[in-house]
Chain A
Amino acid sequence: MKQAQTKHQPKRYGMVIDLDKCTGCGACMVACFSENNVPFKEDETDKRLSITWMKVYKVTNGKKFPDTEVCYFPRPCQHCAGQHEGHSPCVSVCPATATDYGMETGIVSQIYTRCFGCRYCMGACPYHARYFNWWDPVWPKGMERYLSPNVSPRMRGIVEKCSFCYHRYQLARNKAYTEGRRTLKESEYQTACTQACPANAITFGDLNNPDHAVHQMAQPDLHHHYKPKNPHAFRLLERLGTNTKIYYVSSREWVRKAGDNYQVPLTTDSHGPENSGH
């Protein structure tokens, strides 16, 4: 039998989030809490001390009633690739290699038992996707029964973030391998937030695979650091060179401008404060 000599192409897992569809309902946030044993405290109203791997920002166009418009930006870790694969803002600075770039998947991992809590990676991340465990995680008595064995709860003093539900990838890959397959089907590896989204606003898959919906929706330009070719698609702060794997789609121009300074001509006050997020 002829063995096809295919060039090995690494996966590039990523998301396309349709901001026209996203309703800001926050189900993705809770799906993530629940999937990944994210802790909670009595008071979570200081949002800068609140661990939310997926965070939904509320953004307004800054206009007065009744011309006000609102858009929601769900923000998981952007799994930045940087200007050369693996040069993510956070990975490149972690002194202990406690956060790493998966060359096979494009997933930025976090090794909880190695991280020693210097928080340099948090300073490096422009998207505030990283969270520090300022407290010991404590579950009310009895509630620890719902904790998933697939994701270890994190101890105090270390950093955590969205992993693209990496354990789901591992489970799917193990299953495929035992069935003698080397590749995963698109549906076999889906993140918890994607799956839960009641609005079907999140699409997840391999950006390198032309058969996957994310590739078709974002149309990443392989020659320009995967910049989207779809005119309604953009990435957060394209100009920073973070080369992220979360693409956003919006039919509204002000929304695209709010998310990506690439779209703003430099002559204007490119980075106005008119948009406020919660």
Chain B
Amino acid sequence: MKLSRRCFLSLVAGGAAGTALSPLPWKLADDSSIWSQNWPWTPVPPDGEGTYTLSTCTLCPGGCGINVRKIDDRAIKIEGAKDHPLNDGGVCMLGLSGLQMLYGPTRIQTPLKRAGDRGQGQWKPISWEQAIGEVAQKLGDLRGLGKPQSLACIAAKDTGTVGRLLRRFMSAYGSPNFFRMPSVEDAYEAAIYITQGAIGSAGTDVNNADFILSFGSALLDGYGSPVRVFRANSRLKELNGTVVQVEPRLSNTAAKADKWLAVKPGSEADLALAMAHVIISNNAMNQTFIADQVEGFEAFARMVQEKYAPETAAGKTGLSVDVISEWAMKFASARRPLALYGKGKGQVPGSLKEALAVHALNALVGNINAEGGVWALPAYDYINWPDIETDSVAAAGLQTPRMDGAGTDKYPHARYLTHRIAAGAEGIEALLVAESNPCFSLPNVQAIRTAFEKIPFVVSFSSFMDETAMNADLILPNHTYLERYEDVPVTAGVTQPTVGLCRPVVEPLYKTRHLGDSILQIAKAMKGTVAGAFPWEDYESCLKLTLAGHWETLEEKGVITAAGYAPGGFETASGKFMLMNDDQGAVYMADDVATEGNGNEYPLVLIPYDSIRLASRYVGAAPFMIKTVSDAVIKGQDGYVEINPETAKTLGLADGQLATLTTPVGTAKVGIHYDEGIMPGVVAMPRGLGHTAYDRFLAGKGVNVNELIGFVEDPASGLDAAYGIGAKLA
């Protein structure tokens, strides 16, 4: 058939016009846009019945109440619990990110047994029976060899039913080697014990103070019970109160403080004692309190007069005598002054001298055991379990000294010297790790990891594949806090004994098991007195029995406080506050804690800092948190250090360039970030970065400051008192 040219061209033109006028192109346009509005790869969250579950956040020691919004069986949003005594509706970004941990990719979903070499990340899923059986078998063997003391346990806390079950297990088993992750509580507890004779945590009444003198405490970056402290700070803003921040770096706290006293790192004790000097010289102390309730004032006054004149402190701190005097007097003349001890979030115990000095300032102004002041808060005594019957193996094991030497004559003020675990690793045959990540968060973490290599049997109870779990032989994954019941006693600075209840917001998602149940089942599998020490069917019944009368209130309110608790007198022999005795005298007369690394080889000082946008304890920062971290802190995968432009320029370092940071402990590639808010000669780096475990949202970003900083033992307590380390940048 022959198609004429005319015919062909007309056909083409007619066809085009016909198609354009038909509904086809319009229908296609409409359908394609509807498709683009419903792309199958963009999720559509299913709707359902909305409910709220009241619980408690355990992601930091803060113990905030949370209210979790659910749709059917899905948790969709964490909110702060309104009317909670600590956070009254407020919540921090870590608490808000909890669901990313619950549903995140780093959850350990079933018991795992190591398949490849340690740390290689090769695992074989095993049954719970096998997991419990293998732990019981191994621990039984050690007892059989008469070496129960070679079992060690590291946990985040020693309180609450789970902390106590762990400790009870250790006692029944026969090992004194229970370790709590280090924190400022170690030093604060010691200072309170020494001065007040009381055993307990420091309750700081930030809510009623009108002048807070903070010695580097990250009031606005996670110190104490973080939201509680935030609220206190805002209250001070409303009432025109005063916050003074002593710190070498313009932290968030310093930025919002009424006065930032930029002192040289490590000179805080000198400043505190010089301020004491000023107060005493001006007779500005609380005379009644000193006269009635203080022992050793004259000795103390003599000591500061001799050794801590403001002129001396001026040289050490870098502040002028006038500034020291001015702020000392402002502190002393405030209505309710409060001096706070503990740097950053309080992850390092710090020096006993500094803790005592800060506490002494409080004593001079008479705010010990007073509203707006500080007092010793005893543990909430709701745990009354029957005595343990120890067998001979356990009794013998418990007679052996702790491997870290804590509580011995050498270290009488320390209960735990957990940073020393690396040194004692030779003696550890088996290690249990609960709710903590020592392979990331202890100083000189390389040494900790090397020590772990020497321990033949490491069991992790972690819910997440963290650095420590990576280095374990067996993982018995715990439920996350959103899947379990647990009592959460709060010590972090609270002034009333407070216990929150953490409860299952959702059914456990995976084949995990409550840490409490794991302990009970391991103990039962071991039979004998070990099993006998645990008369409970399971953890939940243990918890309910233990809480007994409190249970109903806890279920309903999510928290109980011993309302109306008021501190009593001092528990010292004289019944007075011990401002000075021989022990303290030795502490005060000793030199300051020095950093590692001398000034010639290491001209700079590297200090770690804490950010509320990062998590640096047991859990790692969630993707939401990392998303908020400034590009002055991480850029791409590189971590940046803060450095004063003046210092950087003398070193020939440009803003934004990469450099090598070297300390006596380690070396890392870091980016340079010019910051006018940091003292010349100091470089700062946040805690919580440089993870090697966790997911791609966290791993490999920035540098773990614990790879650059070691511990420095406080000569007075043996606790880790490192505030920084000598460093060089090139």
Which positions in A face B, CB cutoff 8 Å?
Answer: 18, 20-21, 23-27, 29-31, 33-35, 37, 40, 42-47, 50, 52, 56, 58, 60, 62-66, 68-72, 113, 136-137, 139-149, 152-157, 192, 195-201, 278
Contact = CB atoms under 8 A, between A and B. Distances in A.
A242 B149 CA distance: 71
B93 A65 contact: no
24 contacts: A25-B93, A29-B627, A30-B628, A31-B91, A34-B97, A40-B624, A45-B634, A47-B631, A63-B676, A64-B676, A65-B646, A66-B262, A68-B677, A136-B41, A137-B43, A140-B104, A146-B75, A146-B77, A149-B71, A155-B37, A196-B80, A198-B230, A198-B231, A199-B231
A113 B37 contact: yes
B630 interface: yes
B508 interface: no
B99 A146 contact: yes
A70 B71 contact: no
Nearest to A31: B96
Contacts of B100: 143, 146
Contacts of A25: 92-93, 220-221, 230, 252, 612-613
Given A113-B37, A199-B231, A145 B78 contact: no
B260 to A, nearest CB: 7
Given A45-B636, A68-B676, A148-B71, A21 B104 contact: no
Contact of A140 (B41, B105, B233, B634): B105
B39 interface: yes
Central interface residue in B76, B262, B628, B631, by most chain A CB within 10 Å: B628
A20 B80 CA distance: 22
B200 interface: no
Given A30-B93, A140-B695, A198-B92, A71 B255 contact: yes
B495 interface: no
In terms of DSSP, what is the predominant structure of the interface of chain A? loop
B103 A70 contact: no
B226 interface: yes
Contacts of A34: 77-78, 96-97, 99, 624
Contacts of A145: 74, 103
B715 interface: no
A52 B631 CA distance: 14
A31 B627 CA distance: 13
B47 interface: yes
A66 B628 CA distance: 26
Contact of A66 (B47, B103, B105, B679): B679
Nearest to A143: B103
Interface in B79-123: 79-80, 87, 89-93, 96-97, 99-100, 102-105
Interface in B624-639: 624-632, 634-637
B90 A44 contact: no
Contacts of A139: 43
Contacts of A58: 630
Contacts of A201: 234
B250 interface: yes
B227 interface: yes
B44 interface: yes
A27 B104 CA distance: 20
A218 B69 CA distance: 32
A29 B262 contact: no
Contacts of A148: 45, 69, 71, 76-77
A197 to B, nearest CB: 6
B386 interface: no
Interface string B605-647: 0000000110000000001111111111011110000001010
A26 B676 contact: no
B36 interface: yes
A209 to B, nearest CB: 22
Given A27-B93, A142-B105, A198 B77 contact: no
Nearest to A50: B627
Contacts of B230: 23, 25, 198-199
A42 B696 contact: yes
Given A25-B230, A68-B250, A153 B635 contact: no
A207 B546 CA distance: 51
A58 B629 CA distance: 12
B256 interface: yes
B129 to A, nearest CB: 26
Nearest to B73: A145
Nearest to A278: B630
B504 to A, nearest CB: 16
A120 B520 CA distance: 63
Given A21-B233, A30-B96, A143-B103, 5 more contacts: A24-B252, A25-B612, A31-B93, A70-B677, A195-B79
Contacts of B623: 40
Contacts of A44: 626-627, 629
The 10 A-B residue pairs whose C-beta atoms are closest, nearest first, are A198-B90, A70-B255, A147-B45, A30-B93, A23-B220, A198-B230, A149-B47, A146-B99, A44-B627, A66-B262
Nearest to B644: A65
A113 B42 CA distance: 12
Contacts of B93: 25-27, 29-31
Given A136-B42, A153-B45, A29 B252 contact: no
Contacts of B90: 27, 196-200
Contacts of B260: 66
Contact of B97 (A30, A42, A56, A62): A30
Contacts of A136: 39, 41-42
